[in-house]
Chains A and B, each alone.
Chain A
Amino acid sequence: MLTQEERPVLETPGEDPAPERKRPAFHLNRQGRAAHVFLIPWQLGFLLITAIPLFASLYLAFTDYDILNPPEWVGLENFQRMVQDEQFWAAVKVTLVYVLVSVPLQLGFALLLALILDRGLSGLAFYRSAFYLPSLLGTSVAIAILWREIFGDGGLINRGLALIGIDGESWLQNPSTALATLIVLNVWTFGSPMVIFLAGLRQIPDELYEAARVDGAGVIRQFTNVTVPLLTPIIFFNLILQTIGAFQTFTQAHIISGGTGGPANSTLFYTLYVYQQGFVAFDMGYASALAWVLMVAIAAITALHFLVSKYWVFYGDS
């Protein structure tokens, strides 16, 4: 596409160019106006559902607000309270461990499955749908029941262990293993990144593999020197999405711990703590401050990802 500077200027021979009419700073032609008319529903939705609540929440973060009474300005008090709040730090720890462990595991598993499915299996559509199914179920109430049946005191795993003489305890009620069960749940819902990986793998030209084979590259070498480099934009995309999603994990922890974050805070995810403060303690000011800290943290980590991406993400045109 030509830029504004590159466009040829059409002039009528023999005539002086017409004096340029000064346009107002904000000028829209008819098409522009039409576009804006059509955008009104979206703009209204954005304003009412996103922008206004967002800025209202920013204001509330600096107030003491219990919903029943008008907000009272308290300055930075809510943020200072976080520093002393043991529950806050417990929630930060749980969430960071979850993000750092579950995201790489989930992406690795999704990539592995995508590579297997990319090998021209018959019935690919079935497998793709079947593997995607857990992603749809991952945040449903049925999962709480399923997980109890698997990881509970008398669950599938303990019954299996009992066969070899091991008397296991509930994995969900042990603070050392409860978070691990949620990480397993997240890894199990690998369908979404898997589908994206699969689409990315399909974009890699066969000629590159042929060339690699001619040069004597084996399967592993082809994977590390062809697949991975060409898949880095997709890996990056999935990494960003899954990292943000992991920071915002709520439903699974809420369902499986009954909203408590137990046992002993071991599944107290950050968003669960925000919910507890906002909708159980009705401390909306503090909950808003917590939510803004999370948003800033996610923005900073995403920015860091982008910053580092130039060292490991390879785009076709670079």
Chain B
Amino acid sequence: MTGLDRRGFLKLALGTTAAGLSAAAVAGCGGSGGGAGSGGSGKTTLRYAWWGNNIRQQNYTKALQQFSAANSEIGIEPEFAEYTAFQERMTTQIAARDVPDIFWIASPQVMTYHKNKLYRKLDDIPTLSWADYSQQDLDTFKLGGELNTLPFGIFVPVIRYNETVAKADGVTFPAEGSGWTWDSLAELLVAYSKDNPGKRKGAAYLPDHDLTFEAWLRQRGEQLWTEDGKVGFTVEGVASWIDWWEKLRKAGATLSLSEQEGMGPDWALVGKKTLVAFGNSNHIIDDAKMFPKERFRLRAMPIDASAVDGHKYLYFPRMAIYQRVDDDKLEAAGKLLNYNVNTAEMLKTVRLTMGAPVNPKVAEASKEFASQDEKEMLAVVEKDRAAQRKPRYEAPPGSSTWRTTMARVCEEIALGRTTVPDGAKKLVEEITAGIKRAE
């Protein structure tokens, strides 16, 4: 026997447990990340959260490291996740009041976070410059009259087509202008699908794509959301959009749900089966890489003669500084935001996957290092940015599942389980109910 009797052993066990629990408790009080905040060394550590694919993760991590190397007094703790997981993690972090100092904002959550006062105002941070932006830009950036989020990219809805395939198949797109209408596009897609050597279809079935749906609505004088946080479109408005798609599908101009393996198809799968894609302007950068031997081009959305003035719009992905950020971190946070949007340096590393730069000078500078696809994207955004635009409003609290609902309704219509008018009515009712619950 060793010298340890049972009493001694129990004391030791109890002591060890107590010590372990104390350590755990202390660790729990310490917050995540250990060194977050200003340490004794005078170095400020910022937590930076973003989403994307693995390429974006690598690019942004590298760019943040470059920023830290150039600003030795600032350390960065990267927090990356895939888009859906990012939102889940943000929500739990918000509940635990453990929010990253700087975070990207998923589009369905912009107004939800605003309502819950998660954003710190940005117009009083000396290290963050607004000098390059026009007053119109700044007014567009504001949420509820406050400059509390920072747009860091611009997307616009586009028609992207495979120019290599189009040329090979002898397809000529109508010139942009009076001939580039929804009807002319539909005719082209139907005619192409009926007769092309590769047995491609005109497009994938995508009535649930948000930006192009919004373009359709705005041309008809409707909008996605109203200023006071309500559904901005009518049952007739959404029905007309789904109907346009249904006519295409029934005419064999789109892939069937079976061919594209469901709603929200994978580009790698449908890119080789279609001529045209409905999407965001920035998608060309990653999507074109999957078909390196082919050239893709962008077109602005078709416009009918009856389209109302000011229907063009810009969509901004946004980032923000957490409301409860320590005051002694603000200067560093401002520097990092500045690096994100007001210089072209970071873009050289992360490229333009998050859209055209919002800062006009940076947008101009980025043309020098932009790839062919990025230049294509910059050009189409520049045109829409120069156009007259009516205000656009962000998704209100309670609407976070609207795209899932829309995909489900469109799927039911395509499968013949409901009609377009009934589906449209159901969609508006479900989204309205969600918003009402959140009020």
**Residue ranges of A at the interface with B (Cβ–Cβ < 8 Å):** 30, 33-34, 37-38, 40-41, 44, 64, 66-69, 148, 152-153, 169-170, 172-175, 257-260, 262-265, 276, 279-283
B94 part of interface (Cβ distance < 8 Å)? yes
Show 25 residue pairs from A and B whose CB-CB distance is below 8 angstroms, ordered by the A residue.
Answer: A33-B10, A34-B10, A37-B10, A37-B13, A40-B17, A68-B91, A68-B112, A68-B116, A69-B116, A169-B256, A169-B258, A170-B257, A172-B261, A173-B262, A260-B404, A260-B408, A262-B407, A263-B263, A263-B411, A263-B415, A264-B412, A279-B91, A280-B84, A280-B400, A282-B400
Interface residues on B, range: 35 or more
Q: Give the shortest distance, in Å, between B414 (CB) and chain A (any CB).
A: 9
Chain B hits for A262, CB < 8 A: 262-263, 407-408, 411
Report chain A residues within 8 Å CB of B261: 148, 152-153, 170, 172-173
Tell whether A264 pairs with B415 under 8 Å between CB atoms, given A69-B116, A281-B434: yes
**Number of CB contacts from chain A to chain B under 8 A:** 85
Q: Given A279-B88, A280-B400, are A260 and B263 also a contact pair (CB < 8 Å)? A: yes
Partner of B404, one of A66, A280, A282: A280
Chain A positions within 8 Å of B407 at CB level? 260, 262
The residue in A33, A37, A262, A280 that gathers the most chain B C-beta atoms within 10 A of its C-beta is A262
Chain B interface (Cβ < 8 Å from any Cβ of A): 6, 10, 13-14, 17, 21, 84, 88, 91-92, 94-95, 112-113, 116, 256-259, 261-264, 400-401, 404, 407-408, 411-412, 415, 417, 434, 437-438
CB < 8 Å neighbour of A264 from B17, B112, B411? B411
Name which of B84, B88, B94, B262 has the most chain A CB atoms within 10 A of its CB: B262
Q: Which residues of A contact B263 (CB under 8 A)?
A: 260, 262-263
Distance in Å: Cβ of A53 to nearest Cβ of chain B: 13
Interface-central residue, B257, B407, B412, by most chain A CB under 10 Å: B257
Task: Specify which of A34, A67, A280 is in contact with B95 (CB 8 Å cutoff).
Answer: A67
CA distance A118 to B404 in the complex (A): 49
Main secondary structure on B side of the interface with A: helix
B115 to chain A, nearest CB (A): 8
Inter-chain CA distance A79–B112, complex, in Å, is: 25
CA distance A33 to B14 in the complex (A): 11
Of all chain A residues, which has the CB nearest B418?
Answer: A264
Establish whether residues B411 and A153, one from each chain, have CB atoms under 8 Å apart when the complex forms.
Answer: no
Separation of A38 and B437 alpha carbons in the complex (Å): 48
Interface centre among A30, A44, A170, A276 (most CB of B within 10 A): A170
Chain B CB count within 10 A is highest, among A170, A264, A265, for A264
**Cα of A68 to Cα of B91 in the assembled complex, Å:** 7
Instruction: Report which of A34, A69, A173, A280 forms a contact with B401, defined as CB distance below 8 A.
Output: A280
Partner of B417, one of A152, A264, A279: A264
Contact: B91 with A67, CB < 8 Å?
yes
In the assembled complex, the CB of B400 is this many whole angstroms from the nearest CB of chain A, namely: 6
- Given A170-B259, A259-B84, A263-B411, 13 other A-B contacts at CB below 8 A? A34-B10, A40-B17, A44-B21, A67-B94, A67-B95, A68-B116, A152-B261, A153-B258, A153-B261, A170-B257, A173-B262, A258-B264, A281-B401
User: What CA separation (Å) do A282 and B434 show in the bound complex?
Assistant: 11
Closest to B24 in A: A44
Contact B94 A68, beta carbon cutoff 8 Å: yes
The answer to whether A175 touches B95 (Cβ under 8 A) is no
Contacts of A64 in B (CB 8 A): 437
- On chain A, the residues within 8 Å of B437 by CB distance are 64, 283
Q: How far is the CB of B212 from chain A (nearest CB, A)?
A: 20
Closest to B397 in A: A66
**A283 closest partner in B (C-beta):** B437
In the complex where A68-B95, A262-B263, A265-B408 touch, is A276 in contact with B401 (Cβ < 8 A)? yes
